[in-house]
Amino acid sequence: MSLYQSPIHHLHQRRMQGEITTQEIVESCIQRIEDTEDQINSFLTLTLDQALEQAKKIDQKILNKDDIHPLAGMPIAIKDVFSTKGIPTTCGSKYLQDYVPPFESTVTEKLNTLGYSLLGKTNMDEFAMGSSTENSAFKVTKNPYNLDHVPGGSSGGSAAAVASGQALAAMGTDTGGSVRQPAAFTGIVGLKPTYGRVSRWGMVAYASSFDQAGPMTQDVTDTALLLNAISGFDNRDATSLQVDVPNYSEYLNQAITGLKIGVIKDLDLSACDEAVKSIYFQNLDALKSNGAEITEIEIPNIKDAIAAYYIIAPCEASSNLGRYDGVRYGLRTKEIDSLKALYEGSRDEGFGKEVKLRILLGTFALSAGYYDAYYIKAQKLQNLLRSQFHKAFKTVDAIALPTTPTAAFKIGEMTNDPLQMYLNDVFTISANLAGIPGISIPGGFTRDHLPVGFQLLAGHLNEGKLIQIAHNLESSLNLNKPSLAI
């Protein structure tokens, strides 16, 4: 088995025993990138020489008997929404195609402190608006299990990089499911932390009250490692939570006997493929066999979550993207005869179709005649959902849901039907509205060998409980993953 096929924690053990070097680990991923990138399109910017130099530095530290973190030198990819000092940060948009930040995001700063090897910046739906990575201004990323299918979005480049072995792990962001949905589509683990658990400083904003950084990894053990690395209070982020961060690795290998897993009464699974429904119930049975108690709960307004999200998120996008005006930074149109022409021309040339659509939706909902009818009502529904989840978590330890209603769809299949595309987020959005953590792990595979995800949600700041249950289920499923297409 090639080194790129092993999770970080296994490789760390082997290098500390002298079996392999960090340089060999990084070289394995670099070779994989060179062999597959022209077909998968995971990356927008590559920093392979930098990654190799960092690996050599870590190997010298190991020779010197210095203490190193398990993530030190490990080849990791970063979604191109995180600011990286001196390295382009485009957000998948023509507007920022020449933007090189003069500062580092908190997430990448924390990883730099641990000495990770940055392989590059991954492709994404423009400004994180999309569920397929088809909305990137530069390229379409493909699913490593079937190159005719999408890898999900908006963190599709990160998902494809990890699933294909181009990177051992990656960072994504989750505004309405953009870590968990692509993780489900590509057969990896993706976790959205509690809102405020991980600093958003240096993350380019889409919808500020929902955006949250999250790890994408080969297994749950690596998820715990990365979550420890990126979590914590940051006084540069006004929404960062000033709370202690537990050692998430301590939740691994714990029994789930007696834990209560909630199943939402009258959950509408009518939009789900038969394979998704079958795998969902099989995973519930596995949790029950492992000692968990499956119990029905009520969250009456979960059916309305998608409507509330697609009002609030575009409203916030409309506000956040107002800074892209052709004046301060980013693309500037050359056809200028007035300030209005500068604004209109720059935005018309710089923004893609989906971004324009969401800005228009948000601007409409915020307008004087519709603010109360749309935005205020959506916020009231959000508060109602939060209270319903809070009540549910008084009686259960976690809630189980499918991650997505279908496995990965074909490239181009939904590009002309935005509503159908939005419905891909039907099971993930409620966690963002409620600000609670959620995780997707591989639950099984369809007859066509496409991955299907299984999702767990937990109460506020209960990421440890998610890791405990997800690791227990992962260990018992012991899935044999089908061969990749490449």
Tell how far CA 74 is from the center of its chain.
19
Judge whether 360 lies within some domain. no
What pLDDT was estimated at residue 398? 98
The secondary structure element, H or E, covering residue 25 is: helix 22-40
DSSP helix/strand/coil, 233: coil
For the segment 402-426, what is each residue's pLDDT rounded down to a tens digit?
A: 999 999 999 999 988 888 899 899 9
Whether 164 sits among the annotated catalytic residues: the reply is: no
Judge whether 472 lies within some domain. no
For the segment 200-248, what is each residue's pLDDT rounded down to a tens digit?
A: 999 999 999 999 999 999 999 999 999 999 999 999 999 999 999 999 9
Judge whether 45 lies within some domain. yes
Q: How far apart are CA 313 and CA 306, in angstroms?
A: 10
Residue 93 clears pLDDT 90, i.e. is over it? yes
Closest CA to 463 of 239, 257, 283, 220: 220
Name the catalytic one among 6, 42, 79, 346.
79
For the segment 15-35, what is each residue's pLDDT rounded down to a tens digit?
A: 999 999 999 999 999 999 999
Residues 138-157 have a mean pLDDT of 98
For the segment 175-200, what is each residue's pLDDT rounded down to a tens digit?
A: 999 999 999 999 999 999 999 999 99
- CATH no. for residue 63? 3.90.1300.10
Judge whether 432 lies within some domain. no
Name the catalytic one among 136, 164, 178, 440.
178
Tally of domains in the chain: 1
377 burial via Cβ count (<10 Å: 0-12, 13-18, 19+): middle
Judge whether 165 lies within some domain. yes
Residues 382-411 have a mean pLDDT of 98
Whether 154 sits among the annotated catalytic residues: the reply is: yes
pTM (2 d.p.):
0.97
Q: How far apart are CA 182 and CA 152, in angstroms?
A: 4
pLDDT band at 376 (very low <50, low <70, confident <90, very high): very high
What pLDDT was estimated at residue 152? 98
Range of the domain at 136: 3-255
For the segment 422-450, what is each residue's pLDDT rounded down to a tens digit?
A: 989 999 999 999 999 999 999 999 999 99
CB 176 within 8 A of CB 429: yes
Closest CA to 50 of 112, 117, 4: 117
Residues 320-328 have a mean pLDDT of 93
Name the catalytic one among 154, 164, 240, 318.
154
What pLDDT was estimated at residue 336? 87
Residues 284-312 have a mean pLDDT of 97
**pLDDT, mean over the chain:** 97
Residue 305 clears pLDDT 90, i.e. is over it? yes
Judge whether 212 lies within some domain. yes
What pLDDT was estimated at residue 444? 98
Judge whether 319 lies within some domain. no
Judge whether 473 lies within some domain. no
- Tokens describing residue 351: 């923004």
What pLDDT was estimated at residue 328? 85
For the segment 24-66, what is each residue's pLDDT rounded down to a tens digit?
A: 999 999 999 999 999 999 999 999 999 999 999 999 999 999 9
Residues 6+ apart with CB under 8 A from 425: 131, 176, 177, 181, 306, 309
DSSP helix/strand/coil, 438: strand
What pLDDT was estimated at residue 453? 98
